[in-house]
Amino acid sequence: MNTRGLLQRKNMALENYNCVLCSHNIEESLLHLFLACPFAVQCWNTLNLQAGAFVDPFGILDSFRRQLAVPFFLEILICMSWAIWSVRNDYIFRNRPVSLQRCKQIFKDEFAGVILRAKQPLCLFFLFPEYVVVTSSLWF
C-alpha cells in the first residue's frame, strides 16, 4: 500500500510524510497507520480489540484473532482496515474530517456486504447468534 513512508522511499515529493490521522508527527507506515496510530487504536477499540503490548504486527493480528474468537475474524480485520484506509484517503483527497463515526459507518457498510456475499455457514452466525459468542459492540 502506498503509505506516505513508502512514497518517500520511492522519492515522491510530498509536503509532509507524517500520518494525517494523528498529531504525533510520526511517519505514516503500514504498522503505524493500521495498528499504532491513536485513531486506528480507537477504531479497533470500537470492536473491543486491544493490541496490548505486542510490537510485532503478526502478534497483534493473532491477538485480534483470539479476542474475536469467530471463524470469520479475517473478514472483520479486513473491513476495519479498509475503513481506516478510507477515512485516511477521504481526508487527503476529499478534505473530509477524520471521524471515528465515519470509520464505524464504513466498517458497518462493508461488513454488511460481506455478510450478504457470504456462504451459508457464515450467514448462520447471524441468523442464529445463540450459537456463537460475539461481543455486542461488534454490531455497534
Length of the chain: 140
Residue 63 cell numbers, joined: 491477538
Query: Residue 82: what are its φ and ψ, rounded to 5°?
Result: -60, -40
Please state the domain extents for the chain.
30-139
Q: What is the pTM of this model?
A: 0.79
Top-confidence residue, 34 or 122: 34
pLDDT in tens, 56-72: 888 999 999 999 999 88
pLDDT in tens, 78-109: 999 999 999 999 998 899 999 999 999 999 99
- CA-CA distance, 104 to 96, in Å (whole number)? 15
- CA-CA distance, 108 to 120, in Å (whole number)? 20
